[in-house]
Each structure stands twice: as structure tokens, then as C-alpha cells.
Amino acid sequence: MNVEDIPQILTTLQTGKMTLRGQFVHGSNYTFLASIVQADREYPAVYKPVRGEQPLWDFPAGSLSGREVAAFLVSQALGWQLVPPTVYRRKAPLGPGSVQFYIEHNPEYHYFSFTPEDKQRLRPVALFDLVVNNADRKGGHILVDENQHLWLIDHGICFHVEDKLRTVIWDFAGEPIPPDLLADLTRLLNELERAGDLVEQLKPYLSPAEIRALERRTRRLVENGCFPHPAASRRPYPWPPV
């Protein structure tokens, strides 16, 4: 997938004809593999209908699909292209939900089987999860496609106003954030502070308090300039870890 293909992919995910091809059975929420066709284009996609979301005590009901879209928007704003193209689609076979471009990958190759070289590529991933407050970064949620591009999936429980970060990636704790990544974070912070286009795009999916919390987390990273250590006051790892 090239960057220039993303607008076309988003349009097709949003308006193309969707056909369900199967169901992913390992997960808490109902998730389906679909194909989406428009004109001469056909894309595989992951469809997560709102009606298939299991209730959570700490996240508003029916909000997980929107958080998937918000994660894509933040990834794009950072310029890191970590989250596959994702839209919120109202007209779909099982009702409204998120629709994400499906990434072909080897499911046996994940964080716990990565080469040392691939683990060194995860600094943007660790920073992204800190920014979006990812409560469930399992090792299997990091994919590598045939072009060796890193992709991140499953962001339904992100953006909470309270600290919920649970991740397997603590490899860089205490290290300074590389200057190029710090510059990207600073640009994101400026965009959030001026309440520009990104904030308007996030409003349908996140509450005002969640958007303000996103800004605070980004500012904290920029001001501290380093990767934090795991919180000692609570469990900082997801379960199961893969």
C-alpha cells in the first residue's frame, strides 16, 4: 500500500459494496472479514459492528468502533502510517461499525518472535501507544506486511482520560526520544492545541475530555523528551500478552 493510495482506499471502504467472507473467532467482540468492491477495485477489510461490541465498565457503550477510526486519524497526523486505513461506516451488513483495510501478514511473526532488528523499529509504536493511551497492545497486534512495513491493529480500547496503558513494548524505557520522532510529536501537539482540522475529525469519535487528555499526554511526552518506565502502581502489561 502506498501513501497515495490511501484516499482511494478510504472511499472504497466507505462506499463500496461489502460482502462478509468469514468471522474472526478469537476475540471479545464480533469481528468479520469482508471484501469491498467499487468499480474495478476490491479490497479485503476487517469489519467490527457496534452491535457486536461487548460492554465494558470503563468505556462508553458503542464507542469502540469510533476509537478505531480515531487511532487511524492520529497515526496519519503523526505521519507514521502505522494504522491501516479505517473508516466508520453506517451502512453495512450488520449495522454501523468500523471498517479497516486488511493487512496480509504471517500471524506467527509478532513481537515475541521478531528479530532484534525489527524490535529496534518499534520506537514509533511505543510512542503511538503512549499518545493514544492503548489499554491492550498485545504482541500479536503488531503486523509486518510483505514489504516489511509495520502495522498496528485493535485500538478499540484507547483514548481513555485515565491512564490505562498496557503494552508489551517497554524496550526503550528511559531512552531519549529520537529527534525526528520528537519533532512529529511536537507537530501533533501544535495541531491539538490550535484545535485545527484533526480535532474536528476526532470530535465524532471522542469526547471533549478525551481529546483534551490526548493533548495532555502528547505534551507530557514532548516536555519530558524520553520514553517513560512502566507504572509501578498498576499492571502495565496486557493479558494475554500475544
Domain count across the chain: 1
Output the DSSP codes for 177-221. PPHHHHHHHHHHHHHHHTT-HHHHHHTTTS-HHHHHHHHHHHHHH
The verdict on residue 20 lying in a domain is yes
Q: Give per-residue pLDDT as tens, 104-116.
A: 999 999 999 999 9
Nearest to 144 by CA among 84, 100, 98: 84
pLDDT of residue 1: 73
Cell of 44: 479485503
CATH number, residue 192: 1.10.510
Q: Is 61 helix (H, G, I), strand (E, B) or coil?
A: coil
The verdict on residue 230 lying in a domain is no
> Which band of pLDDT confidence, cut at 50, 70 and 90, is reported for residue 231?
confident
> Which band of pLDDT confidence, cut at 50, 70 and 90, is reported for residue 126?
very high
Q: Is 168 helix (H, G, I), strand (E, B) or coil?
A: coil
Cα distance between residue 84 and residue 118, in whole Å: 19
Check whether 2 has a pLDDT greater than 80. no
Cα distance between residue 164 and residue 68, in whole Å: 16
Q: Give per-residue pLDDT as tens, 185-210.
A: 999 999 999 998 999 999 999 999 99
The verdict on residue 232 lying in a domain is no
The verdict on residue 203 lying in a domain is yes
pLDDT of residue 13: 97
pLDDT of residue 106: 95
> Which band of pLDDT confidence, cut at 50, 70 and 90, is reported for residue 52?
very high
Check whether 117 has a pLDDT greater than 90. yes
pLDDT of residue 213: 98
The verdict on residue 242 lying in a domain is no
Q: Is 13 helix (H, G, I), strand (E, B) or coil?
A: helix
Cα distance between residue 158 and residue 128, in whole Å: 11
Q: Give per-residue pLDDT as tens, 13-22.
A: 999 999 999 9
* Residue 241 buriedness (CB in 10 A; 0-12 / 13-18 / 19+): middle
Check whether 233 has a pLDDT greater than 90. no
> Which band of pLDDT confidence, cut at 50, 70 and 90, is reported for residue 49?
very high
High-pLDDT (> 70) share of the chain, %:
100
pLDDT: which is higher, 89 or 1: 89
Check whether 232 has a pLDDT greater than 90. no
Nearest to 84 by CA among 187, 175, 167, 155: 155
Cα distance between residue 89 and residue 112, in whole Å: 34
Check whether 168 has a pLDDT greater than 80. yes
Check whether 27 has a pLDDT greater than 80. no
Check whether 125 has a pLDDT greater than 90. yes
The verdict on residue 229 lying in a domain is no
The verdict on residue 56 lying in a domain is yes
| Beta carbons within 8 Å of 85's beta carbon, 6+ residues apart | 1, 6, 9, 10, 13, 72, 100, 101
Structural domain containing residue 187? 3-224
Helix pair angle (208-224, 123-132), 10° resolution: 140
The verdict on residue 233 lying in a domain is no
**pLDDT-wise least confident of 38-42, 144-148, 186-190:** 38-42
Query: Which residue carries 524490535 as its cell?
Result: 119
